[in-house]
Chains A and B, each alone.
Chain A
Amino acid sequence: MKTIKFLLLIILLFPHSAFAHRVGLFCYLEENTLYGEGYFGGGGSVKNAKVEIYDLKNNNLVAETVTDDEGRFSLLLENIEDIKVVLTAGMGHRAEYILKTEIEEEKAKPYSGIKFYSIMIGIGAIIGVFYLLYILRRKNAS
């Protein structure tokens, strides 16, 4: 019983230690090069960890590399498709990052995202606002 209490105390005293080792991963593409960085939730970089890049469609391993001392990596990709980057930091800690090329392109063109329904919502909202105004005027007049 005493050992259990002692263990509980330790767990309760250091609750953040469980989160401190959560691994995060951030990646972005610049032209043909993939840049990325691995980090621990409590701060600190993921050094010398294995990075695997999978093709998202077939889940084939496309490339492999290792993070440097600052947790960063960069890799030249030949044909860029939608990819999944998996960072393995050992002891079962791993993080995934999905990078879709199509979304990146859409973001680059700010005006392409206008949908017909948003125009309709706008016109509907205008009608609604002025209808409200009309009702208010009517009420005030009567």
Chain B
Amino acid sequence: MHISEGVLNLGVLGTGYILTSIGVGIGLKSLKEEKIVKTAIFCSAFFVASLIRVPLGPSSVHLVLNGLVGVLLGWQVFCALFIALLLQAILFGFGGLTTLGINTLNMALPGLVCYWFFHRGLRGGKVVSLILGFLAGFLGVFLASICVAASLFCTGEQFLNTAKLIFIAHIPVMFLEGIITALIVQFIKKVKPEILTAT
């Protein structure tokens, strides 16, 4: 879901950078000392998750985990994803430096939405947290693919087909992410429930 360099127009790239810097600013400001380790861990998780490729038909898709990172970090999702995407761009050539702003926005904003919707609910009972975990993972990828499609569409109407294709290709990923997020949340609840309660 990384948008490569040289595809989007200047307006979309600029908007991406402006909104991302606002997000990163708020994230840094509200980053308390005790949350730094948690943010670093989920930043690394996101950084590595993109390398796990799941073969799907003729091509392959990779895990995104923006729903999970978002629901657990809140505003810090912007800091975590910005650093992870920057390193992915430099080390692996995924995305690019000019598209870093819009890519971060496309991934982090859905994460933030997941945080607003599901964060409190995750502390509930087992069934509730399973369902909400699934929804967080699902919605994260769902909104992210809509954001990616929208940024392509804002650049030019000729990308409409590509935008549709991106959305369709990610429908299986939405379900996969939902399941994985639900399981990870269960695991965290069992092993280290403080991660869910600390805001």
Contact = CB atoms under 8 A, between A and B. Distances in A.
Contacts of A119: 48, 51, 91
A126 B33 contact: no
B191 interface: no
B19 interface: no
Given A119-B51, A122-B47, A133 B31 contact: yes
Nearest to A115: B91
Contact of B36 (A110, A118, A121, A134): A134
Interface of A: 110-111, 114, 118-119, 121-123, 125-127, 129-130, 133-134, 137-138, 141
B84 interface: yes
A138 B53 contact: no
A126 B44 CA distance: 7
Contact of B88 (A122, A138, A141): A122
Given A126-B43, A130-B43, A121 B37 contact: no
Secondary structure dominating the interface of B:
helix
Contact of B92 (A118, A129, A130, A137): A118
B87 A126 contact: yes
Contact of B53 (A111, A121, A133, A134): A111
B36 A133 contact: yes
B106 interface: no
24 contacts: A110-B93, A114-B51, A114-B92, A119-B48, A119-B51, A121-B91, A122-B44, A122-B47, A122-B88, A123-B48, A126-B43, A126-B44, A126-B83, A127-B40, A130-B36, A130-B39, A130-B43, A133-B28, A134-B36, A137-B31, A137-B32, A137-B33, A137-B36, A138-B33
A133 B39 CA distance: 11
A119 B88 CA distance: 9
Interface in B1-54: 28, 31-33, 36-37, 39-40, 43-44, 47-48, 51, 53
Nearest to A125: B87
A122 B53 CA distance: 18
A61 to B, nearest CB: 39
Nearest to B53: A111
Nearest to B84: A126
The 4 tightest CB contacts between A and B, nearest first, are: A130-B40, A122-B87, A118-B91, A137-B33
Interface in B54-84: 83-84
Nearest to B47: A122
Nearest to A117: B91
B92 A126 contact: no
B129 to A, nearest CB: 27
Contact of A126 (B28, B32, B40, B93): B40
Contacts of A134: 33, 36
B19 to A, nearest CB: 21
Contacts of B36: 130, 133-134, 137
